[in-house]
Structure 1
Amino acid sequence: MKFKKGILMVAMAFLATTAVNAQEFAQFGIKGGVNFSTFTGDGIRGFEDPDMRTGFHLGLLAEIPLADKFSIQPEVLYSAQGFDLVDDAQDNLFDIDDNVEYQVDYITVPVLAKIYLVEGLSVQAGPSFNFKVNEEIDSAPLQDGGDTDVSDVSAVKDFEFGGVAGLEYKFNNGFFIQGRYNYGFTDLIEDYDVHNSVFQAGVGYMF
């Protein structure tokens, strides 16, 4: 628990330091939206293309202009990821139905290059530093209860280095909409080709 709190404090300190150093010309904002996540890679055994988990992301961001059409955008987000456990798994690996989720949640810290193609429309890409803060199997994802914490017995790493790419449109009033793809470059499990794969759709507001 202390480790997880430390992750959040470091991430918030990173964004706060950015704010102090760039307060004269940076914009700050909030954002949130939906995740469609799964695991991918040749190291997934017992499943064929696991179904996507529908989760969410929520957090803070800053946009720091460096040129007329170029900015750096650091963010700190809570991102609910994982995948749906399905009942047609090979060899009936978990003996469960399709209303069960394998949940792996992260504090993600993407640092993105942002290039405006035309007024309001930009492309974004860059690295993401992701810290696992929760891992459980949820047998009742739409209700309270049903959660089984598996973080103490899991082989999923606590840190992931990933990449982010996407599009955003920002309106003149500060509201924006965006779509992204997030991919984990590092193996989730040591020596196994298993990676996070997450599509995101979100909205936000720049102050």
Structure 2
Amino acid sequence: MKRFLLLLFVLALAIPVASHAQHFGLKGGANAAVLDGDKLTTETEYRISYHAGVFYNYNIIGPLTVRPELLYSLQGGDFKSAQEDFETKLHYLNLPVLLDVKVGPVHLQAGPQFGLLLTAKETGTLLTGYNPVNGQAQYSNVNRQVTDQYKKQDFSLCAGLELDLGETLAVGGRFNAGLSDVSDFDQVRSANDPQLKNRVIQAYAALKFGGGR
């Protein structure tokens, strides 16, 4: 993770500041992520994780800019039932491409996001049987890679706002609504398979460099 953050910092410094660019910079913050969808047999809960990356604002006209970002984002969620209790971690490289409208110190942002799954992992407990003496449930610990159970690509729509706190600092919030079914189970697909979609609420701080804002 330290190497990744160092790489993001180097990339941010390497981005050229074009004559029409508003600014470029670094951002990072918290995720509240869940895998939600149809035909689920377990309860799903949000889990707290993080995201970090670089961004670049390019002015189109007046207060309107386009803002591509490159983010590492840890997503997923918690699955709970009488048979299992899993924490699912999905590691994504995300590319949001947003339109940014500036109204005073506030930036209104919306647009699509393309995600590439890097790896997926499950940790938790799984029901293995019942004690023949007292009938109590017996569980085993599970820690496994499940990358093959999820699709490599994800597509989302993003919306949020950002508030300038000065020339170089801003804070913001965003909601990412996944449109793709990201589940890809090994067994033969059937009409009863769950359809999972990423839902992520983000809060972040951003450092801006470059031209006027």
Q: Considering the TM-score relative to the shorter chain, is it more than 0.5?
A: yes
In proportion to residue count, which structure has more strand? 2
One of 181, 194, 198 as aligned partner of 2:196? 194
Over aligned residues, Cα RMSD in angstroms?
Answer: 2.4
Counting aligned pairs with the same residue, the percent is: 29
For residue 23 of structure 1, give the secondary structure of its aligned residue in structure 2: coil
Amino acid in the other structure paired with 1:93: Q
Alpha-carbon distance, 1:42 to partner: 1.3
Q: Quick one: distance in 2 between partners of 1:33 and 1:24?
A: 29
Counterpart check, 1:63 vs 2:57: yes
Question: Which residue matches 1:124?
Answer: 109
Q: Quick one: distance in 2 between partners of 1:55 and 1:150?
A: 18
Please, which runs of 5 or more residues in structure 2 have no aligned partner? 126-141, 185-190
One of 15, 18, 23 as aligned partner of 1:23? 18
Question: Which residue matches 1:84?
Answer: 78
Q: Quick one: distance in 2 between partners of 1:70 and 1:158?
A: 32
Amino acid in the other structure paired with 1:110: P
The residue correspondences of 1:39-188 to structure 2 (distance < 5 A) are 39-44=35-40, 46-48=41-43, 50-86=44-80, 89=81, 92-94=82-84, 96=85, 100-117=86-103, 119-139=104-124, 147-152=143-148, 154=149, 156-188=150-182
For residue 41 of structure 1, give the secondary structure of its aligned residue in structure 2: strand
For residue 172 of structure 1, give the secondary structure of its aligned residue in structure 2: coil
Alpha-carbon distance, 1:137 to partner: 1.1
Q: Quick one: distance in 2 between partners of 1:108 and 1:81?
A: 11
1:93-146: CA deviation from partner (whole Å, max 9, x where unpaired): 32x4xxx511111000000000112x2101100000000012001349xxxxx8
Counterpart check, 1:38 vs 2:38: no
Question: Which residue matches 1:206?
Answer: 208
Alpha-carbon distance, 1:186 to partner: 1.2
Alpha-carbon distance, 1:67 to partner: 1.5
TM-score in terms of structure 1 length: 0.76
TM-score in terms of structure 2 length: 0.74
For residue 157 of structure 1, give the secondary structure of its aligned residue in structure 2: coil
Alpha-carbon distance, 1:53 to partner: 1.1
Please, which runs of 5 or more residues in structure 1 have no aligned partner? 1-7, 141-145
Larger Rg: 2
Alpha-carbon distance, 1:149 to partner: 1.4
